[in-house]
Amino acid sequence: METTSLTADVLVIGFGKGGKTAAHTLAAAGKRVVMVERSANMYGGTCPNVGCVPTKMLVHYSNARRLEDDAQQFFATSIAGVRALTSAFRAGNFESLDGRETATVITGTARFVDPHTVAVGEGDDRITVTAPTILVNTGSEPVVPPIPGLAGSKHLVSSTELTKAATLPERLVVVGGGYLGLEFASIYQRFGTHVTVVEAAGRLLPREDEDIAATAREILEGDGIRIITGAKVTQVTDSGAVAVVEYTKDGERHTVEASALLPATGRRPVTEDLRLDAAGVRTRPNGAIEVDEYLRTSQPHIYALGDVNGGPQFTYVSLDDARIVLDQLLGQGKRTTADRVAVPRTLFLTPPLATVGLTEREARAQGLNIKVSREKVADIIAMPRAYTVEETRGVMKFVVDADTDLILGAALLSIDAQEIVNTVALAMRHHITATELRNSIYTHPSSTEALNEVFDKVVG
């Protein structure tokens, strides 16, 4: 058996946001880069293929559906649109990197042979790649909870399968009411599916303040989604065209039928097939690679970027991971994960929920002297955009330090919240006060100009 051997300056394992960003920059700097991606369907990573891009396209399409549109036909057309765009992005990601003179993309599963070498493929197709610097960016994958009958159910679907299947499920049951579960629930209900969310916790979004979570639930239920909290799924049994999902709530047994069953109870780092032990790279019990604040593993020449290092599972965090690693490899080596302040999050409901910083509950638990500014979107006179696009549901809430007037946190459940939160986060990072935001000039009519009013609505 002959083995093809390659030598690179930098080996990148995983074509995600952090990995591809670092690979492009390093190749542009004249470094010889080899990228290994295990699937030809994942060039560019989770976001453009099965994550952010397809799901946000589906949010857009689902909101565009009219009552007179045939649900099944409209959905199939929407999925075709998603496939076309993700295919274009995938091809573009491959060509833009592999087309560089100093970069090569290899498709296959990388397994460590020693701290500086990986093997890709088997038999006559086996390739070894050796490099003094290695970046691991293999991402995360959905976890199927150990519910009896779930893993073997023919109605079990992953989020990836849902974004690719052209048939709209009649009844979707989502197990788990976190970000992923609620986003898919919102999307598919708007397409015309009957959606039920079964959540084990006593309420949705337990990290958020109760008033924000309650408003989100009110919106979801107003759209027709059935939400069952404080419920534990105990059994899944296939019965012809449906799966019968059994759950207990308040000591009583109940069932709900599903033509599609989506577990949305979390994701785990993809490290199982990497043979990290051969490289001397330590992992945590959940499989995440241990890293320091510079994203160095237990082998200083090996870095871990993105979901695989156990940090926040956001594409933009993976991008920042690339900045940290590139500063180590090409810069001054000063940038660290400790530099991250006021990192925002968005749950793409309709309207979206965007948050940053502390909740009111967290701030009070820390004993901070705070004031809270809160107003329903429908009551914000300075935000006519909500009325012009006919989306007045939601609430805006800010937690402000009463002594310094600095913003400690925000929860924005409103039209354009995913954009407004970036302005708020930037203000928090640069110590711009609530008064300055309130008195600033914003375009009209826009959602951002709600800031002119909400900071005056102090409650609690």
Give me the average pLDDT of each 10-residue run along the chain (460 residues).
84 96 97 95 85 90 91 94 92 92 95 97 89 97 95 95 92 95 96 97 95 97 98 97 97 97 94 97 97 98 97 94 98 96 96 98 98 97 95 98 97 98 98 97 96 87
Is 3.10.20.740 the CATH classification of the domain at 345-459? Answer: no
**At what angle are helices 52-64 and 179-191 packed, to 10 degrees?**
30
In sequence order, the β-bridge partners of residue 406 are 433
Could you give the CA distance from residue 198 to residue 226 in angstroms, rounded to a whole number? 9
- What is residue 449's DSSP assignment? G
| Active site annotation includes 116 | no
The mean pLDDT of the chain is: 95
Q: Which of 116, 155, 254, 444 is catalytic?
A: 444
Instruction: Calculate ∠ Cα 160-14-320, nearest 5°.
Output: 95
Phi and psi at 373, nearest 5°, equal -105, 125
Is 3.50.50.60 the CATH classification of the domain at 4-140+268-339? Answer: yes
Per-residue model confidence as pLDDT tens digits over 292-325? 999 999 999 999 999 999 999 999 999 999 999 9
Could you give the CA distance from residue 270 to residue 278 in angstroms, rounded to a whole number? 16
CATH T-level fold of 159-265: FAD/NAD(P)-binding domain (3.50.50)
Number of neighbours of residue 158 by Cβ within 10 angstroms: 15
CB 1 within 8 A of CB 124: yes
Tokens of 404: 């310094």
> What's this model's pTM, rounded to 2 decimal places?
0.93
Longest dimension (CA), the chain: 74
**Domain limits, CATH 3.30.390.30, in the chain:** 345-459
The Cα-based distances of 5 to 34, 59, 130, 344 in angstroms read 12, 45, 8, 43
Number of neighbours of residue 177 by Cβ within 10 angstroms: 28
**Domain limits, CATH 3.50.50.60, in the chain:** 4-140+268-339, 159-265
